[in-house]
Structure 1
Amino acid sequence: MSVFEHPEFDSHEHVAFYHDKPSGLKAIIAVHNTNLGPALGGCRMWPYIDSQEALTDVLRLSKGMTYKSAMANLKLGGGKSVIIGDPRKQKSEDMMLAMGRFVDSLGGKYFTAEDSGIAVGDLKTMATQSKYITGVSAQYHYNNETPDGNPAPSTAYGVFTGLKASVEYALKTDLKGVRVAIQGVGHVGYRLAKHLHEHGAELFVTDIFPEGVERAVQEFGAQAVAPEKLYSLDVDVIAPCALGASINDETLPEIKAKVIAGAANNQLAKETMGEVLRQRGILYAPDYVINAGGVIDIYHQRMTSSSEALRTHIEQIGDTLKEIYQRAESDEKATNIVANVIAEERFNHKA
């Protein structure tokens, strides 16, 4: 199957494949749309089953970045890169150097940043080979802490802000005593759990890596849950903070929660599931709206800004979600469809 016939291909402007034999790097960069500005999107390293799974992920993720930047009112387009491999076992300095050269080969059409499996140190290695690497230095932090270039704190704060707004809209309450099940307690999920714990939420957590779960149990009094049990829990909110497509034909019928609001990209396995959620009275926070804190952070780091301006911009995520919910309720449409329409109105016209 060619890229053009791939079910996730959506008029992507550029899809590039790269193999660096000496380092073992096998990577793909996808640029979806650059009408509003150069494409920005993180680099993910993951042990994909095969290249088709990696291609599916990068096509979906890059498209999501276009919508994310548009909904966050950023003059950026959408792109993404993926590296095929286990970051805990296969990542090397030579591989990161090769990835830097790959990014550089696109001549500024695509800027990369941190994502799953890639740390700030990896980006700094890539940056020795390309000037199109972001997140390697930072001036601002949403909470006036010392910034280190990692956008995860801003992503988590944005998800927290959006989750809080979603709970207020759907449940007419604050977070005290609200039961939240978090799937994935890595860089973003852990920080989200901390925010929620500080505001009185009751936490249930799961992760494929036990150390994250143990940390959340010890520090936040969270209850550990088996991965296959999370979506059937009798909770108020489910927060997917791992890989995409977690709302699928298997998990959707089990959901008892009234709100789905998390950090993961592409949470719905199929767009039509948004309508199913609506009909079941489950409020869905469109993923690329609620998890935009990271890209907002990177955007502010590239310009003259301030920590206060960064925080204010991130907190607008909650207001944007409430606007989507109100329009979705008025039009009797799924929240993901309403968000798509608004984003497309913005990025289908050149800046």
Structure 2
Amino acid sequence: MKITEQSFSSYIFSNYTNDTTHFSQKGHEQVVYFQDQATGLQAIVAIHDTTLGPALGGVRFFEYQDEKEALRDVLRLSRGMTYKASIAGLDVGGGKTVLMKQKRTELTEPLLRKYGDFIDRLGGHYITAPDYNTTMEHMVYIAKSTRHVVGLPLALGGSGDPSEHTAYGVYVAMKAAAKKTFGTDNLAGKKIGIAGVGKVGYCLAQLLCQAQAIVYVADICSNRLQAITAACKVEVVAIERLHNWPLDIYAPCALGAVLNSETIPMLNCAVVVGAANNQLANQGEDGKRLLERGIVYVPDFLANAGGLINAVTELKTTSIDLVKQRIEQLYTICLDVLNQAQATTRPTQEVAQEMAIARIEKIKNAQLCR
């Protein structure tokens, strides 16, 4: 199904009441559709929960098969942002935007400024940021139309590129998982495979090489592989082979749904920790599959929280040292999740979600009592 003019109005607020399945299962507060014919903008904004504060989440530019696929993606991503913010102890809620890439759609200044105009009409309930295929430079154009944007360059008073902070968070989570699994968080000599060496994967590879790990990398883009092999001592593996390569730790750092009924039985590792969002194709069943195989899994919304921790500094000025300290606190949170999961013989994804939801519910109940 192609997205047609009839399937969008230029500015529609939807409470999602006509789709009871999604609404009841995902619990979103608001889903908003935007269209602008002049620029080719077609977007969906999902605001999942604002109990802790305004929803914050990136804007993803991606070519979806159809509108339903885009909707499913933005619902899952925004829900994950709620969990990510909560478990990291941040005072923001979860939201996300998908910009639907068509054959002639480009991220031009007019399109991005129009998107910013639409975001501004939400009155601060949602704050946008960089995500897949969007950058700090794109945020500069968006900021011409709204102040509800983070991820701006340092020169403009922003928090800069979140990639290195996201990578550092994954690195910290990886050390915690190693401590739980191998009895030490020293990664020297550990065989670690990174699937996807974009900005985050690249930074992660550098950190791991500095830690003297044995690093394998895979990517569909040859330019990225050339860049990382020039910068670090890594071995390139075909992307279709990395998930069953003999590894200590497997790190998915590209798109989601890479852990599923087909790939999990093939995994040849002890630990999975990566930066990709929505790594589990089926959050319930695939979490159980990893548990049954004895593979330690750090939930993605916990492992990749470093970028969000950094982005939130634009809402309230925070020193670089404090940002690093807050990212390093993910180590303790990861160990807590892994220990609880082991003690109760439950998937780590389930335990981490319960921890995130519990914080939200406590605050929500406190607000109701006032």
- The normalised TM-score by structure 1 is 0.93
Which range moves more in the overlay, 26-35 or 3-12?
3-12
What amino acid sits opposite 2:166 in the alignment? T
1:122 aligns with 2:138: yes
3-state DSSP of counterpart to 2:27: coil
3-state DSSP of counterpart to 1:227: coil
Question: Which structure 2 residues correspond to residues 65-144 of structure 1 after superposition, within 5 A?
Answer: 65-85=81-101, 90-138=106-154
**2:51 matched residue in structure 1:** 35
Q: 1:67 & 1:161 partners in 2: Cα distance?
A: 18
- Structure 2, unaligned runs of 5 or more: 1-15
**1:290 matched residue in structure 2:** 303
Match of 1:325 among 338, 354, 358: 338
Q: Deviation at 1:304? A: 3.1
Q: Deviation at 1:51? A: 1.5
Q: CA RMSD in A?
A: 2.0
Match of 2:268 among 248, 253, 256: 256
**1:211 matched residue in structure 2:** 223
Over 3 Å counting, the alpha-carbon distance change for 1:28 and 1:293 in structure 2 is same
Question: Which structure 2 residues correspond to residues 255-274 of structure 1 after superposition, within 5 A?
Answer: 255-271=267-283, 272-274=285-287
3-state DSSP of counterpart to 2:309: helix
Q: 1:292 & 1:245 partners in 2: Cα distance?
A: 18
What amino acid sits opposite 1:315 in the alignment? E
Q: 1:215 & 1:147 partners in 2: Cα distance?
A: 27
Q: 1:223 & 1:168 partners in 2: Cα distance?
A: 25
Tell me, yes or no, if the aligned pair for 1:328 and 1:338 is still in contact at 8 Å. yes
Over 3 Å counting, the alpha-carbon distance change for 1:229 and 1:316 in structure 2 is same
Which range moves more in the overlay, 86-95 or 298-307?
86-95
Percent same amino acid among aligned pairs?
Answer: 39
Q: Deviation at 1:242? A: 0.7
Higher relative contact order (CA 8 A, sep 6+): 1
What amino acid sits opposite 1:305 in the alignment? T
Q: Deviation at 1:24? A: 0.6
1:60 aligns with 2:73: no
Q: Deviation at 1:88? A: 11
Residue-pair matches, total: 345
Match of 2:323 among 281, 297, 310: 310
- The normalised TM-score by structure 2 is 0.89
Over 3 Å counting, the alpha-carbon distance change for 1:214 and 1:316 in structure 2 is same
In our comparison, the structure showing a higher alpha carbon Rg is 2
Q: 2:250 & 2:72 partners in 1: Cα distance?
A: 25
For residues 229-275 of structure 1, the C-alpha deviation after alignment (integer angstroms, 9 at most, x for no partner) is: 11111111110111111101221110011000000111111122112
